[in-house]
Structure 1
Amino acid sequence: MTTTIMVSDEDDVTENGQREPAGAATERTEYVQSLERGISVIKAFGEDTPRLTLAEVAKSTGLARGAARRFLLTLQKLGYIDTDGRYFFLKPSTLEIGYSYLSSLPWWKSAQRVTDELSRDLGISVAVGVLERDTVVYVAYGLPDKFAISGRTVGTRLPAYASAIGRVLLAYANASEQNEYFSSAHLQKLTPATQTDVAKFKAALEDVAQNGFALVDQELQLGLKTLAVPIRNRAGVVVAAMGIDLSSLPGSVETLMQSALPKLTRASARVTEGFAN
């Protein structure tokens, strides 16, 4: 027997029992709130919350238990979520959602291939990231040893202001995008070296745009030194940035810059070649 799972108007009721104003749906005639809520259920699961009960999902998303249950069962039927009877957890099918984004990038395969090759050449980790609001999201990541354990991977998110990749992306953003960033971003001290003064940070971005690279020394994490350069499409527009971790390499930062920066710049140009004509 096939069970049909419906999402009813009861889903307008949140965990605290409140219902949306009567005119809210009319004001958002093209906004599908059920889709938003379904995505919020998927996003409730993560590194620290790999398995959740129905009550925990409802609390995390702000949904009523009945609504949370319907979304969970719908996602289970679609193959994105499973349960052992008490706990719910994501299934590998959810990777299809993220991969759809990556495969839609005309340069992603080129970026991953070049990232892997540069990582093996330099013997260090290499990442390619894009800017999403005030964070950097890795879309490609390479390690010199494919069996090495790292705390980072594709999908890793870092604060843009404290990462070399983020500095590059912010430096090459247009004035409107930069204004939007600074209107909502909170520059917090992550280490004693983190630059949180907005005026000095903007000056640093101007230097990045002028020099063509960003070097961030222990602003994200003590002992971590990263270098990044822009990745441009064939029209010359910066769409991503490629960064390397210099921390494990011997020698001064100046010496490492001289040896690594040319290779990093050539690698980013190779990614540009991966764009469709």
Structure 2
Amino acid sequence: MATPGGGAELDRRDWIAGLEKGLSIIEVFDAEHPRLTATQVAARCGMTRTAARRHLLTLAHMGYMDTDGKLYWLAPRILRLGQAYLESARLPRAVQPYLQRVTAGTGETAFAAVLARDEVVYIARSGTHRHFNTGYMLGSRVQAHLTAAGLAILGAMGSAFSDPWLQRQILRPFTSHSVIDKDVLRQSIAHTRERGWAISEQQLEVNFRGIAVPLYDHNDALLGALSVTMPMNNESTEVAVKRILPVLQDTARAMRPML
């Protein structure tokens, strides 16, 4: 079984430190840190201020960064990187018709997600007009244990992968329902592995529920997860699972020979 998001093995002779540092600088900008000084970037990336400033100025020259001379922030051109993946990778294009099938069968927003190291990344989505704003945007990155898709992937990977993954996580609550006890989370992942599907309720946002199944290709390699995210409203867990899970499972089986 493949290891999603693990990164390829690299001979030391082929490693380009400058490229790694440039990409690490791009990754330090997020919702909590939208604008940073060169000194702040240096501290977050573990490099000198001089080196950070040179990388930032180079990225600004290439159009990937904007600056007022003191603060730096990502420029719209950075979207080209993510769009290039969505347009060139086979998986987002292959799953799209099947996401429409899930939405037609459930009336809910459907997603395909993959694991990228410690986070789940949503690479495709479909939705109804009724819940058009429900769930995640394309490219959204979320710590894996907070989502049904992430739990489905971690469960399918097995304890040899999920236990070390869990060990290195720093768990913080996003809602009053968020699980931050690693022993409880380890049991949840094991339970997901045993039954072959995952459910997540109010872990990232109050009154929202996710249900997911792992997604495999025709060679039994784990690719990611197929999921639905929806408002909980007054629907019980049992009713939601009965309504959503068979559609996800049937769709994942139908996709398998095509991936």
Name the TM tier (shorter chain). 0.7 to 0.9
Paired position in structure 1 for 2:222 = 238
Matched, 1:91 2:91: no
Question: Can you give the 5+ residue segments of structure 1 that lack an aligned partner in the other structure?
Answer: 1-27
> What one-letter code is carried by the residue in structure 2 that aligns with 1:95?
L
Are positions 1:172 and 2:156 aligned together? yes
| C-alpha deviation, 1:167, in angstroms | 1.4
Deviations 1:112-153 (A, max 9, x none): 343345336533322222223333222223332399445731
Residues 107/253 of structure 1: CA separation in 2 closer, same or farther (3 Å cut): same
Does the 8 Å contact 1:228/1:241 carry over to 2?
Answer: yes
Once the two structures are superposed, residues 156-196 of structure 1 have per-residue CA deviations (whole angstroms, 9 ceiling, x without a partner) of 22232232111111111134312321332345555454445
- Deviations along 1:5-41, one digit per CA (max 9) or x if unpaired, are xxxxxxxxxxxxxxxxxxxxxxx65432211221122
| Alignment CA distance shift 1:239-1:187 (3 Å) | same
Q: Distance in 2 between matches of 1:137 and 1:204?
A: 21
- Structure 1 pair 33/113, CA: closer, same or farther in 2 (3 Å)? same
Deviations 1:203-233 (A, max 9, x none): 4333323322112233444322211111111
For residue 123 of structure 1, the aligned residue among 99, 103, 107 is 107
- Alignment pair present for 1:267 and 2:251: yes
- After superposition, the Cα gap between the structure-2 partners of 1:189 and 1:55, relative to the gap in structure 1 and judged at 3 Å, is closer
Percent identity of equivalent pairs: 28
Q: CA RMSD in A?
A: 3.2
Q: Aligned in 2, Cα 1:249/1:116: closer, same or farther, shift over 3 Å? A: farther
Question: What is the rounded CA distance, in whole Å, between the counterparts of 2:118 and 2:112 in structure 1?
Answer: 16
TM-score normalised per structure 2: 0.77
Shift, 1:257, TM fit: 1.8
When Rg is computed on C-alpha atoms for both structures, the one with the higher figure is 1
Aligned match of 1:182: 166
Matches within 5 A, 1:61-72: 61-72=45-56
* Separation of aligned partners in 1, 2:178 and 2:61: 46
For 1:204, the equivalent position in structure 2 comes to 188
Q: Distance in 2 between matches of 1:91 and 1:177?
A: 36
Match of 2:123 among 139, 150, 157: 139
Q: Distance in 1 between matches of 2:88 and 2:163?
A: 28
Structure 2 portions without partners, runs of 5+: 1-11
* Counterparts of 2:72 and 2:185, CA distance in 1: 43
Q: After TM superposition, give the deviation of residue 234 of structure 1 in Å.
A: 0.7
Partner of 2:210: 226
Q: How many residues align?
A: 248
Whether 2:139 is the aligned partner of 1:155: answer yes
Task: State the Cα distance separating 1:104 from its structure 2 match.
Answer: 5.3
